[in-house]
Chain A
Amino acid sequence: MAVSGFEGFEKRLELHFFGDDPAVTEMGLRQLDFESLEQVLHAVQCTVVSAVGNSYFDAYVLSE
């Protein structure tokens, strides 16, 4: 990191998917197990530090 600074400005990525099977799309990506999410985050170089969810979506606070 330059000087002693920590880069605050975020990069933001939003991806939308569709599926033909309503039974699949009802839960869709929320079916991903935690290990799979961790593998995705490993590529980004982040880890989950806290999580919460409701019936609509899951929200994770990440390291960094």
Chain B
Amino acid sequence: SSLFVYPTKIIIKTCGTTQLLKSIRPLLHYARHLGLTLCSCRYTRGSFIFPKAQPFPHTTFKEEVICLEESLPTNLCRRKASVMPSKTPSHSWHVFTASDDAHLPGVLYTLEVCMTELDRVLARKFFQRPGDEKTGDTAGKEMTQLTGIGDINPGALICDFAFDPCGYSMNGIIDGDRYSTIHVTPEDGYSYASFECVGSIYDDHDDVVQILKKAVQVFRPATMSVSTTCTSHEVWTRVAGALEPLGLKCRSCAMDEFPAAGSVVFQTFTTRRK
């Protein structure tokens, strides 16, 4: 899980049975004391592997939306919730956005990649060796190096951590105000990895293609989804072009518009053998 704190922006991404939406009220409280007012909110997630294990308010998307609606101030009057479908019913993308009247989408895009059925040999690299006395930090550094994660953005400042007995999280700081993050649950049967990065619509779009290719090759998943939140259509149209040479075929693509967020495009891919 990851937390990014900017002067006027905060991003929290958590997995497991965490109760993420319970952070909203305390965050608003602390922000108010700093003289800051909330102007937009975006909540996203995929379909849970174990939905029945999720605690309230994450039991259903409907409950999550109610919780969001009740937690957010009334100045965030432009609100929208949507479940974006795919051809696989177990892979949907859940999006809620809210903003005030003045908030406009920025020039940054967000790429959220969810990968399942990871290559077993590659996933094994995210297990600590029995008897290994390494700490989470040192084991994390070793995994970053051994798996090729460190080569995705060679210039990034990386903060990595390996969990005991398995699992891995990494935050990367790239080009000043840009971040990337990777989280891995390598256990066979429910293996999962996520990759997320931000970029600008003014960037060279070949950069995102190269980064996406490198990230996916670390895990070689059988199934993956890519959600692109962006005001420009230049980014999402490059995604399939990046993944198809790796043997991943685009099976579905859904698009929706959200106030103050721009377009959200949700694409799913599976290996050609599936």
Binding site for B on A (CB under 8 A): 1-3, 5-21, 24-32, 36-37, 39-41, 43-46, 48-64
Q: Which of B1, B36, B170, B185 contacts A6 (CB 8 A)?
A: B185
Give the tally of cross-chain contacts (CB within 8 A): 249
Interchain CB contact under 8 A, A60 and B2: yes
The docked-state distance in angstroms from the alpha carbon of A20 to that of B2 is 29
- For residue B194, which residues in chain A have a CB less than 8 angstroms away from its CB? 8-10
Interchain CB contact under 8 A, A19 and B8: yes
- For residue A32, which residues in chain B have a CB less than 8 angstroms away from its CB? 5, 30, 34
Stretch at the interface among B9-17, B78-86, B201-209, B242-250: B9-17
Q: Mark B157-196, 1 if CB is under 8 A from A, else 0.
A: 1111100000101110100110100010101011111101
Q: Which of A8, A13, A39, A54 contacts B49 (CB 8 A)?
A: A8
Interchain CB contact under 8 A, B171 and A59: yes
B6-33 at interface with A (beta carbon < 8 Å): 6-27, 30-31
Q: Which of A26, A28, A43, A60 contacts B3 (CB 8 A)?
A: A60
Q: A17-B9, A49-B136, A50-B140 are in contact. List 7 more A-B contacts (CB 8 A).
A: A2-B53, A5-B49, A5-B190, A20-B35, A30-B5, A43-B23, A60-B3
Stretch at the interface among B40-48, B147-155, B210-218, B232-240: B40-48
The 5 closest A-B pairs by CB, nearest first: A8-B192, A28-B7, A62-B1, A52-B159, A2-B50
- For residue A57, which residues in chain B have a CB less than 8 angstroms away from its CB? 4-7, 173, 177, 179
